[in-house]
Amino acid sequence: MYHAPRTRQHSTRKLSWIWQVDAITHGVHPMRRVLGIRDFRLYWVGQATSLLGDNFHFIAAPWLVLQLTGDPLILGAVMALGGVPRAVFTLVGGAITDRFSPRIVMITSDIIRFLLTTMLAALVITGAIQVWMMYLVALIFGVVSGFFMPASMSMLPRLVEGDDPAAGKCAGAGH
């Protein structure tokens, strides 16, 4: 038996219907309910700010390496020094997050990454930047990010525990 494929309009109507039922049963749209949680809102704004800063760094650092050297091999080495420790230290960061407050781990990580980025900007402005400094910054940034990521992931369920974990996960999906 042939069934016509569902159109986007049909699936949107179905989703809209589910939200209407949810609004009737709970009184508020799930996203609005989750964003109504003060701690979640603070987390969400902090994550957006941190993600914006990380993305600026991930654009500016490779550009700076290419400006300094013009060598794609050095660029690859700098990128590897940032990426490999991030992957390896995610496991260590998860263990640390389980033992200590994820909030403290996140804030400490962000402060260190901010200081690294500020120091890097000062070195570029003064013209004192050298390639070995980029290696060091990439390595430290990668290690610190390895602690930040699991701490950030572990915060979400704690903030929206009883309200609506699915809506919280959707709203926090940018990290």
pLDDT interval class at 6 (50, 70, 90): low
**Do both 30 and 102 map to the same domain?**
no
Using a pLDDT cut of 70, give the percent of the chain over it.
74
For residue range 70-79, what is the model confidence (pLDDT) as tens digits?
Answer: 999 999 999 9
Which pLDDT score is estimated for 18?
A: 52
pLDDT, one tens digit per residue, over 35-57 is: 778 888 888 888 888 888 888 88
Please count the helices (runs of H) and the strands (runs of E) in the chain.
Answer: 7, 0
128 plus 147 within the same structural domain? yes
Domain extent for 28:
1-34
What's the domain count of the chain?
Answer: 2
The pLDDT, as a whole number, for residue 165 is 54
State the DSSP H helix or E strand holding residue 103, giving kind and residue range, or none if neither. helix 102-126
